[in-house]
Structure 1
Amino acid sequence: MTSALGWLRQPSFMLGGASELAFLKEPNDVIAVRDRPLMLDCQVEGEGPISVTWRRNGVPVPTGPKASVLANGTLLIKSFQKRKESNETDAGEYDCAAQNHYGMLISRKARVQLASLPKFHIHPESKSVDEGGVARLTCQVNGIPEASISWEKNRTAVNTDDNRYTILPTGILQITGVRRTDSGVYRCVATNIANTRYSHEAQLTVTGKRSSPRIYKEPVILSGPQNLTITVHQTAILECIATGNPRPIVSWSRLDGRSIGVEGIQVLGTGNLMISDANLQHSGVYVCSANRPGTRMRRTALGRLVVQAPPEFLQWPQSVSRPAGSSAVFTCMAQGVPEPHLIWLKNGKILTPGDNVKLTNNNRYSS
């Protein structure tokens, strides 16, 4: 995840008025595809002439056959590369610097990643499940951007119209009320803009006979919610899959007693909780309960959800004019979870306290 410092636009402010520089467009985080062009925005207004330069990881980007700065300040990388022989890459943190006669303004840092899809690091494993039970197959792959996961049975796409089959966005396949016809060879398929990959194959074998309704089996949570940290507006998937005879009823609550709510809340399959467009109020400990119908017999599992928010400015420094020898005070306030770290820049260089510069705890800068 991008650090708090990386999310912050790092402004420098000039004493003056109409001549000051201001960004119309700043570079955004982006995922680039190898051998394809990449463009990063940097559009500025202010009194000309204005020069725009670019840096990657703090080092100036050389212009030439590979990269050029367009008339509007946009950086064009003609063919995004990762050179295997030297392990060098065009990926990194980019920022642009705009300068005119009166001063310099530095943009936010934009994280540029190379799209990739490596091999699966977790493959599904073969298993045997009693008829009428629950099968859970899992796979994991770390793609940039995150890969879309689907499943195949005997090299044919799994029929998700059958509500016994649930595919979680995390790559987990759940099959409830397993039947003999569910036996077969399963594999995971991962796809993103970089590639498509297939996992190893796993054999699912359905054994035994369906349990008699008279044979009681206590509720058991086969897989409960895991601790999860996400960013606001992302989607949280909290897994809960249970077995028993009769089939247990899965329900959700919060450990602090607060209501989970209904907006943006969806149940996937027989008990998985999906929270769409998460906000800070969704942070908390979630409890999955598997109850035997008609009784107080239950099993529980807990998972903590942490929702973080990138820094955003609440108050910006305002341009001021002061006579020589007098004091100038600038104020800057920001919020985020976790609490953001603020730095000050003057003409693109980090400002450090000195004889005529003071930084206070409420993020006021005076000179």
Structure 2
Amino acid sequence: MHGEPADEGQYTVVAKNPVDKVQASAKVSVCTKSKVDKLADVAVNIGENARIQCQYSGIPISTIIWYKDGKLIPTNDQRFVITQETPTLSVLTINNTDMDDKGVYSVKLTNTTGDVEGKVNLTVKPIKPAITRDLDTSYTGTKGEDLILSIAGTDNPYPTCQWVKNNTELTPTTDPRIQFKENKKTNEYFLIIKNATQNHMEEYQAQLINVSGLIKSKKNKITIQKQPTFIKKLQTIRVNQTDTGKMECQIDALPQTRVYF
């Protein structure tokens, strides 16, 4: 006979003749092939938890194994948690997803009738950077000293920071006094101008960029000043009567000073 679930049960055979009769009983179990009943694609934002559910059926109840991109789910990564919520519902949870978690996840169901596979796609969507501490709109520095501009931002995924001066990208080759630094623990980005001069009195801006997009900081206008100091002081001179005498000095200051005697 062709087995159907309705055929399961206890069967008895009886053999009888004029002498006597004998009988024997046996149980019939009908096995059904494993089947994936529900397994759907999942999309999450980076940093969120992903929950992939596999609802399945089969007699006897199938065993289930999870894979990512054809490889067994790692058991040494605590972010991956597999739970059997019901006898036929297995759930893979990926905590705090990152961009490396995207890919094809598959299950293999096995019972006495054989193996069946199912596949699903996990999409992890990056988040556009955000600025959590912006530039001030102005900065007053001292000529000859170091100037530091900084911003802070989000990191899903970690962005690159690009600094611009008057809408032109800054690089160490464009100005040897320029340095760039960042702190990945605090998500801070720094523009350092060494030994600033009046040539640095311009407008500066930062841009955070990742695969999801770009965000710009406020523009910061740098002003450089310096209190008057003598580069060359007046020197005592001796002048003969009726001759012309000349006294001179040299002063460094920003803005330029008015000099009078």
> Please, what TM-score do these two structures have when normalized by structure 2?
0.44
Q: Which has the higher strand share?
A: 2
TM-score normalised according to structure 1 size: 0.32
